[in-house]
Structure 1
Amino acid sequence: MIRNISLVGAGNLATQLGKALKQAGLHINQVYSRTQSSAQTLATVLDCRYTIDLAQLEETDLIIVSVKDDALEQVLDQLRHHARVVHTAGSVPMKLLASYVGEYGVFYPLQTFSKERDVDFTSIPICLEASTATFYDELHKLAGRLSETVRSINSEERKVLHLAAVFTCNFVNHFYHLGDNLLEERGMDFELLQPLILETALKVKDLKPSDAQTGPAVRFDETIINKHLQLLADKPELQKIYSFVSESIYKTKNSN
């Protein structure tokens, strides 16, 4: 049974996951980060010890690694003597861990995380994969203490899931940023768009996204589209984005 957990990484995901684990009654043994300030900050929040040296990471029931994808192998190479390790990456296959540690797996909470904003883990899907059935069962019990939605998702499925998440979260948030900039230039507040954002998100709980699509691009209203492009005359990059996305919306909607 998994009772004691150490966290490798002290970023957005590790911070919120650590809080959720502690709240669920798990014991956080240690936190590791490359920088003392990050490690110490999270350790203070979780009331645990910290280290900036992976060689000082003690054996425990489970080590959860939440670091950048390109740093994962370097970290794993220093965790070879540990028995049970999972990573939290969306696009890294589970088999990457096979040559480094004993039992291994993936513990992937599908959500966007920020250190400063607490989240309710009960509604976050947690996607699992494990090297053995026994280890999977233990991870499932652990995930079940945090979330009402726990799914078995293999590496290939998770890769596509992560790609879909980039489209529906990261890209959409970038569009929020672009919209915010446009309003800010004219002295308007982003709060004006927030009811629209919320309704757009709520609609796809009841409708397929293709059925929820509205706007000038759906009907290819050239008059409005051209007016918008004129407003972006001094922003050629935004013109390209606007034209490309509008064309994609129209073609997708009319191919169904």
Structure 2
Amino acid sequence: MMRIAIIGTGNVAWQFANAFREKHNVEFIYGRNAKKAEQLAQSVEAAFSTSFNQIPRDLDLYLIAISDDQIESVAGQIPEVSGIVAHTSGSVDLTVIPHEKSGVFYPLQTLSKEKVVDWKKVPLCVESQHAESLKALTELGSDLSKNVQQIDSQQRRAIHLAAVFACNFSNHMMANAQELLRESELDFSILKPLIEETVEKALEVGPDNAQTGPAIRGDEKTLEKHQNLLENHARLLEIYNLVSQSIQDTRHE
């Protein structure tokens, strides 16, 4: 059983704090915002503080779950501790943590406080140059997930970039679709079966084999009709043309 401190109070911090407490002791929460730190601490029955000086020195894991651009600064402010200091980012290098027992514990999943996570299905990418720390992070990951992989920083950056395309960009495309439907007084739910089938087919046969639509067919008349419909939507027209061209370019590769 590990004794754990969570550094952060956002979505990732909330999810990990509540997931860990089933088999481990989450003993301390650090947050810049006292109210948010207290709320998370109460949910897992932990102590909390807004001061780095109050962080206990003798815990097993100090998990930094904050925005990527703050990790290096925060890691440098954590005092000398006996346990592992790890972050949860997909794009930040292991070496930004100036502690001997540094590590990475990256969940390859989009997380929010409100949605229950099935951790058994979530890939967890772990990394450390310290053998005992790597073993401990791998074992901790195995308590949550059936898919724990030892991934180095270069591989993790590639995974994170791919995830942005697969997750963040695809969600943005759905938001654009929702905007267009609203203008015609239509509900986004009409696209749900199509979205589900698209994802299912991409996972089954591979996205390169699952591509359909006017761009891959070279249907110039339909492309032109769509462009005309978007003549008053400069941003969406630019996206439409760029993505259509990208699809056509891959067709000829």
| TM-score, normalisation: structure 1 | 0.95
Per-residue CA deviations over 1:142-201 (Å, capped at 9, x if unaligned) read 100000000011000101110000010011111111111111111111111111111111
Residue aligned with 1:115, SS: coil
**Which residue matches 1:93?**
93
**Which residue matches 1:80?**
79
Amino acid at match of 2:18: K
Give the superposition deviation at 1:134. 1.6
Matched-pair contact (CA < 8 Å) for 1:232–1:239: yes
Q: How does 1:62-211 map to 2 (within 5 A)?
A: 62-83=61-82, 84-97=84-97, 100-211=98-209
Matched-pair contact (CA < 8 Å) for 2:27–2:45: no
| TM-score, normalisation: structure 2 | 0.96
**Which residue matches 1:13?**
12
Residue aligned with 1:119, SS: coil
Per-residue CA deviations over 1:95-124 (Å, capped at 9, x if unaligned) read 111xx2231110001000111111111000
Note if 1:36 corresponds to 2:34.
Answer: yes
Q: What's the Cα RMSD here? A: 1.1
**Which residue matches 1:218?**
216
Q: % of aligned pairs identical?
A: 38
Separation (CA, whole Å) in 1 of partners of 2:251 and 2:39: 48
Matched-pair contact (CA < 8 Å) for 1:140–1:150: yes
Amino acid at match of 1:86: A
Moved over 2 A (4+): none
Per-residue CA deviations over 1:199-248 (Å, capped at 9, x if unaligned) read 11111221111001111111121111111111111011111100010010
| Structure 2 residue runs without a partner (length 5+) | none
Matched-pair contact (CA < 8 Å) for 1:55–1:78: no
Residue aligned with 2:144, SS: coil
| Structure 1 residue runs without a partner (length 5+) | none
Per-residue CA deviations over 1:30-73 (Å, capped at 9, x if unaligned) read 11111012112211222222111121111211000011122112
Residue aligned with 2:103, SS: strand
Residue aligned with 2:62, SS: strand
Matched-pair contact (CA < 8 Å) for 1:16–1:113: yes
Aligned residues: 251
**Which residue matches 1:4?**
3
Residue aligned with 1:113, SS: coil
Residue aligned with 1:204, SS: helix
